[in-house]
Amino acid sequence: MKFSGVRSLTVVSVAVAAVVLAACGKKDAASDATVIKIGHVGPVSGAIAHLGKDNENGARMAIEELNAAGLKIGDKAVKFELLAEDDAADPKQGTAAAQKLVDAKVNGVIGHLNSGTTIPASQLYNAAGIPQISPSATNPKYTRQGYTGAFRVMADDVHLGGTLGKYAVETLKGKNIAVIDDRTAYGQGVAEEFKKGATAAGGTIVGHEFTTDKASDFNSILTTLKAKKPDVVFFGGMDAVAGPMLRQMKSLGINAKFLGGDGICTSELAKLAGDAMKDESVFCAEAGGVEGEQKAGMDKFRTDFKAKFNADVQVYAPYVYDAVKVMATAMVTAGSADPAKYLPALKAINYKGVTGNIAFDEKGDIKNGALTLYTYKGGERAQLAVVR
């Protein structure tokens, strides 16, 4: 593994690094180790708590591996401590959680999960000078605010939505395309980019309806769209809404192909949709993807994750895991856990993770970000292709 930053260090892995560097943190009285506090925020309550817990478990897995490695920074042992907060996918609760982490003087933050919580929280982290890596917020605005410490480890909605729009027309042969979004920063953003991609590819948007991220009754908007005879329906939102929506589409006799972004691209979607999900009728894209030799690393991660938490990876856990390791690597490279000192190393990182190679552009977006296209067969996700 190669650490790239202010200077390069070549070692076998972070897990076995023995680096003589200096750290910033507090003392752990029991072990006399310097404590480095990493914040994590996600919705571990509410409709998408299964996704928030998935993220938090990814962070815990990385933290435990770092601590098991017995890392030393300088001549001092270090202990990474996870400070986990719940934002319930609510922007107000998200900023309150962010303020708690700022007050706790965390050394860095991994999160939030949703764009709608990540963007307002980023203002607080930026003001406090705390680097933030989102593993899953895809709205372009997040990294276009001019904040030097804002990063993400997956492709944004411009790439994701545009690719799905093109796929809907060119591969699925969609001609009359309906769009629904949940009015969140994520849902609205990915839907608008989808429309651009579909229109550019020659598709016709026959209707655009709106719901919320807490809705459960879609009969009115679906009836309106049914009259327009769509052959493709795109939904910008999360799986907790998409599942019931698919059930109601079936009851209304809407047989259109159903598309969505990474928010619906979960193992839970098949359970939420039940018998409304026919084979190869639902398509989605996950913002990330590995191929070839890299696939073995991702497969191992999924196996280890299942063994540890007795749960399958939903979507984002590998990206959270990599984000924690990337932040720790930057600290090691810079020789400090002081945010101001390791930030340059984070900007210049070149890290080989389970989700692929991670390096950031000048905005903090991942370079050459991949997307993985999926469909569902027999209630399971089936990979179609990795595209860049």
Q: How far apart are CA 363 and CA 143, in angstroms?
A: 6
Residues 6+ positions from 312 with CB-CB distance below 8 Å: 267, 302, 305, 306
Percent of the chain with pLDDT over 90: 81
| ω into 112 cis (within 30 of 0) | yes
* Exposure b/e, 148-159, CB count within 10 A at least 16 = b: ebbbbbbbbbbb
The string of pLDDT tens digits covering residues 291-339 is: 788 889 999 999 999 999 999 999 999 999 999 999 999 999 998 999 9
pLDDT of 252 over the 70 cut:
yes
**Helices 317-334 and 294-309, axial angle in degrees (round to 10):** 110
The string of pLDDT tens digits covering residues 100-116 is: 999 999 999 999 999 99
CA quadruple 185, 186, 192, 196: dihedral, nearest 10: 140
Q: Quick one: pLDDT band at residue 263, thresholds 50, 70, 90?
A: very high
pLDDT confidence of residue 387: 83
Amino acid at 319: Y
- Tell me the whole-structure pTM to 2 decimals: 0.82
Q: How many CB atoms lie within 10 A of CB 91?
A: 20
Residues 6+ positions from 236 with CB-CB distance below 8 Å: 161, 179, 180, 181, 182, 186, 187, 188, 189, 190, 191, 194, 260, 261, 263
More confident residue, 187 or 13: 187
CA quadruple 275, 206, 225, 183: dihedral, nearest 10: 80
Q: Measured at the alpha carbon of residue 153, what is the angle toward residues 311 and 293, in degrees to the nearest 5?
A: 70
pLDDT confidence of residue 15: 37
H or E element: which one contains 352? strand 351-353
Average pLDDT, the chain: 91
R_g (Cα) of the chain, nearest Å: 21
* Exposure b/e, 182-191, CB count within 10 A at least 16 = b: bbbbbbbbbb
pLDDT of 73 over the 80 cut:
no
**Across residues 174-202, what is the average pLDDT?**
97
Residues 6+ positions from 172 with CB-CB distance below 8 Å: 232, 257, 259, 283
pLDDT confidence of residue 28: 60
The structural domains of the chain, ordered by start, are 2-154+291-366 (3.40.50.2300), 157-286 (3.40.50.2300)
